[in-house]
């Protein structure tokens, strides 16, 4: 079949119209992109000051460290949520520029979401429980907590899960729906409950006095005075068993500083006992290495 000029005209590509459409679409996408950047920038600039003012008024009588944790936690969660919403809205907005009708897509996603929702009850539980954790301020980023059988420092929080780092450096991601009981080890104050074992025949009054002296030394030390929030106590004998006596020392510290204070107390108690000839309880048995007799066959 011969190709007529009319057929050639029908298949002619309108480059001017196509270029106009591309420019319009590009301009629209660029505007959306700029608005996304502006929204994220405003979020980062406004959220932190607003949260800071609100939290400081709400927690005016709380320690500064707790206020800062609360501000950091809420800022992190709110900012991430807003950024996610902004990106979803931007994605839906630019879809028509690629020839995709967003209306039916949104309706379809709604139906799919409804269907998936019945099989994603744990996700809903995660979000709801995450909201209660934030509203009730059960813990914050930087706290040491024990949740769902895991203990660690809270590194991040979302509406979906909580990220913990334990003492071994292992990272645990705990779904919020699994969190039934929260044990916060760094809220308000921590307490050192130090058990000191001493030989049974040592004078009890002397031991109590020496322990009180050591505790006060640490309390007055400039390197630890700010870590200890109350006068240490040595209630006395906690346990008597066999050839040893356990004495209890109680020291309240700032959250997270109980470990350093405990190590310093142990070091000074050891030096004090050595200086005053106080025998520690239950001394470790001497483990001596002895070469076993060699059988005659081993001499060759």
> How much is the pLDDT for 23?
72
CB 51, CB 71: distance < 8 Å: yes
Q: What would the 3-class secondary structure string for 148-172 be? A: CCEEEEEEEECCCEEEEECCCCCEE
- pLDDT value at position 187? 82
Return the pLDDT at 44. 75
Percent of the chain whose pLDDT exceeds 90 = 39
Note if the pTM is more than 0.75: no
Q: What are phi and psi of 131, to 5 degrees?
A: -65, -45
Class for the domain spanning 190-275: alpha beta
Q: Which residues of the chain have pLDDT under 70?
A: 1-22, 98-121, 282-300
Summarize pLDDT for 74-128 with one digit per residue, the tens: 888 888 778 878 887 887 777 777 666 666 655 555 545 554 555 456 777 888 8
Is 87 strand, coil or helix? helix
- As to burial, measured by CB atoms within 10 angstroms (0-12 exposed, 13-18 middle, 19+ buried), residue 265 is buried
| Predicted pLDDT at 87 | 81
Domain residue extents for the chain: 190-275
121-127 — which CB contacts under 8 Å span 24+ positions?
122/175, 122/177, 123/160, 125/176, 125/177, 126/159, 126/160, 126/161, 126/175, 126/176, 126/177, 127/159, 127/160, 127/176
């Amino acid at each position: 079949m011969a190709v007529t000029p009319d057929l050639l005209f029908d298949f002619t590509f309108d480059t001017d119209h196509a270029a106009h459409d591309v420019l319009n679409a590009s301009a629209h996408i660029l505007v959306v992109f700029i608005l996304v950047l502006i929204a994220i920038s405003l979020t980062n600039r406004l959220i932190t000051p607003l949260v800071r003012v609100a939290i400081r008024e709400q927690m005016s009588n709380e320690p500064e460290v707790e206020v800062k944790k609360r501000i950091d936690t809420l800022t992190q969660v709110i900012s991430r949520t807003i950024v996610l919403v902004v990106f979803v809205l931007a994605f839906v907005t630019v879809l028509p520029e690629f020839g995709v009708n967003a209306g039916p897509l949104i309706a379809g996603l709604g139906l799919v979401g409804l269907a998936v929702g019945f099989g994603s009850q744990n996700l809903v539980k995660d979000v709801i429980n995450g909201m209660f954790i934030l509203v009730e301020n059960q813990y914050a980023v930087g706290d040491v907590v024990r949740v769902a059988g895991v203990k660690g420092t809270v590194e991040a929080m979302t509406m979906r899960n909580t990220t913990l780092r334990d003492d071994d450096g292992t990272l645990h991601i705990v779904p919020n729906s699994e969190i039934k009981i929260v044990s916060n080890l760094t809220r308000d104050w921590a307490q050192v409950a130090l058990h000191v074992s001493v030989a049974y025949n040592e004078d009890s009054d002397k031991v109590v006095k020496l322990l009180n002296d050591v505790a006060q030394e640490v309390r007055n030390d400039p390197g630890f005075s700010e870590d200890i929030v109350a006068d240490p106590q040595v209630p006395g004998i906690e346990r008597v068993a066999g050839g040893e006596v356990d004495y209890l020392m109680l020291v309240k510290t700032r959250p997270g500083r109980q470990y350093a204070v405990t190590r310093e107390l142990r070091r000074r108690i050891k030096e004090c006992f050595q200086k005053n000839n106080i025998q520690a309880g239950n001394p470790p048995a001497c483990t001596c290495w002895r070469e076993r007799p060699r059988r005659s066959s081993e001499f060759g």
